[in-house]
Structure 1
Amino acid sequence: MKKRGFEIVTKYQSANLSLPVRSTAHSAGYDFACAEDFVLPSIWHYNFVRLFRMIRNGKPLVDDDFERASKTLKPFLVPTGIKAYMQDDEYLMIANRSSNPLKKGLVIPNGVGIIDSDYYGNDANEGEIFIQMLNFSPRDVILRKGERIGQGIFMPYLVADDEVAVTTKRTGGFGSSGR
């Protein structure tokens, strides 16, 4: 019986992807790579800078100003082409590579990503893991297929003693367990 591991999602079966591996014998994380060339836009594009200028000059801001800036200042989902299976009482924590902020200006905006065990094989996207990233460097960053972008660490979790049994089933892909 398989306990935990990785598979390539159907969409990328013929894309010659590699499954995540640990780089050294004592590495906690499995390195995740970009599934395809991906341009990660800088947040410092016109609409975002324009908003700062308006604030600095004391101009009143309207909803359209915020909407335009929000189209630039947002994270992007970088595809990995990988799905992870694990035990019911485990999750896969997705963390940034420690060199990404310093060398490339890339961060995971929510700090870490959590891949629940029931995300695997979901109907919406087969359980493909995407790494949510934000580029705060002044230039767009091109991530190349096969380039390491994050790491995944399998972790157990605990539940409270008095928890009422949860019977809700996942019905979607990315972000589907929230409201």
Structure 2
Amino acid sequence: MAKVRGFEIVADVADKEQVILPKRSTEKSAGYDLHALRDIVVEPGQVGLVETGLTAYMQADEWLGIYIRSGTSFKYQVMLANGVGVVDSDYYGNEIKIMIRNIGDRPLSFQRGDRVAQAIFQKYLLVDADEASGVRSGGFGSTGV
């Protein structure tokens, strides 16, 4: 059976045994929980990059949305620095990282294994006469460079 969509451990992650593959918490959950691969501390007003050790595969007309977990946002006063993370289908093989902004007034720490965000696979549509011709040339933050 051909693979349709899912998560894999990034090939060049040194501590593969520490990576937690995402799963949904309940039968009706839309999102797959993403866990921190390493401990991280984010100071108030700062942005931190949470590593996951994961890559995602999906169909060409799909994208993976990364959203902060509501409980995490409320409990720790944190948000995604980019609002919603967008992982395109051609990002496959590159590590998914979560940009966290600490909007609270004290340092925020995530421990390895903590649930930080959730990932939701989604379809998208193209406009008539779409002419995208670029090719991804790297990983995180590489589009348009």
TM-score scaled by length of structure 2? 0.92
Unaligned 5+ runs, structure 1 = 44-73, 122-126
Q: Tell me which residue corresponds to 1:41.
A: 43
CA–CA distance in structure 2, aligned partners of residues 82 and 2 of structure 1: 16
Larger Cα-atom Rg: 1
C-alpha deviation, 1:9, in angstroms:
1.3
Q: Tell me which residue corresponds to 1:163.
A: 130
Amino acid in structure 1 at the alignment position of 2:69? R
Per residue, is there more helix in 1 or in 2? 1
Match status 1:76 vs 2:48: yes
C-alpha deviation, 1:36, in angstroms:
0.8
Quick one: structure 1 residues 99 and 177, their matched pair in 2 at CA, closer, same or farther if it must change by over 3 Å?
same
Q: Percent of aligned pairs with the same residue?
A: 45
C-alpha deviation, 1:139, in angstroms:
1.1
Q: Tell me which residue corresponds to 1:152.
A: 119
Unaligned 5+ runs, structure 2 = none
Q: Secondary structure at the match of 1:15?
A: helix
C-alpha deviation, 1:12, in angstroms:
4.3
Q: How does 1:111-122 map to 2 (within 5 A)?
A: 111-121=83-93
Runs of 4+ in 1 over 6 A off after TM superposition: none
CA–CA distance in structure 2, aligned partners of residues 147 and 12 of structure 1: 19
C-alpha deviation, 1:13, in angstroms:
4.8
CA–CA distance in structure 2, aligned partners of residues 138 and 98 of structure 1: 19
Q: Secondary structure at the match of 1:76?
A: strand
Q: Tell me which residue corresponds to 1:6.
A: 7
Q: Secondary structure at the match of 2:17?
A: coil
Q: Matched residue pairs, number?
A: 143
Structure 1 residues 12-48: Cα deviation after superposition (integer angstroms, max 9, x where no partner): 45333220000000000000000011111112xxxxx
Per residue, is there more strand in 1 or in 2? 2
Amino acid in structure 2 at the alignment position of 1:18? I
CA–CA distance in structure 2, aligned partners of residues 132 and 161 of structure 1: 33
TM-score scaled by length of structure 1? 0.76
Quick one: structure 1 residues 85 and 12, their matched pair in 2 at CA, closer, same or farther if it must change by over 3 Å?
farther
CA root-mean-square deviation: 1.3
